[in-house]
Amino acid sequence: MVKSLLAPEKGTWVLLCFVAFFGLVVAVNAVFISTALRTHSGVVTDQPYEKGLAYNETLAQARAQPVAKHDTSWKDGVLSWQLLDETGEPIDAEVSALLYRSVKDGSDFKVEMKPAGNGLYKARVDLPMKGRWEAQLKALWNNSQYQTRFVFVAN
C-alpha cells in the first residue's frame, strides 16, 4: 500500500515532494531568522539616526578647523603625531587620541599624548589585540580645535 502511494507515477508523490521542498525552505529560513535575532544587531554607535541628521553640521565643523600640517605614524607600540600650523611652526596643544576598532565594539580607549618637542606628540599604547585600529586624534589650543583620523595595523 505504501509503495503504491509513493510511486513516481502518482500525483501524491509530486504533492509530497512539493510540500517537503517548501517545508525545508521554511525550516532553513526559521533558523536564519532566529540566529539573526539572537546575534549582533550591527549598530555600533549610539543614536545613529540623530547623528545622521546632524551630519551636515559635522561637515561644517570639519571645514571650519584651523589649517594645520600634520604627520601621523605608528611604530613599535608608539603613536606619534607631528602638528604644525600653516606657516610650519610647532603647535603647543593638549593632544589626545581615541583608539577603537570599527569591527569590534567594546575595545575603545582614550590616551593622552605627551609633547616630545617641535610639535611632536607621542603616546606608548598597549593595544589589547592585534589588527586594524583607528585613532581619532584631537588637539586643543588657543580656543582652536583640530581633529583628524589615522588608520593603522598593529602586529
What are the structural domain ranges in the chain? 10-38, 66-154
* pLDDT attached to residue 21: 97
The pTM of the full predicted model, rounded to 2 decimals, is 0.65
> What topology is assigned to 66-154 in CATH?
Immunoglobulin-like (2.60.40)
Separation between Cα atoms, residue 136 and residue 150, nearest integer Å:
6
Q: Is the pLDDT of residue 48 over 90?
A: no
Choose between 67 and 124: higher pLDDT. Answer: 124
Q: Is the pLDDT of residue 26 over 80?
A: yes
Predicted confidence band of residue 118 (pLDDT cuts 50, 70, 90): very high
Separation between Cα atoms, residue 11 and residue 4, nearest integer Å:
11
Q: Is the pLDDT of residue 2 over 60?
A: no
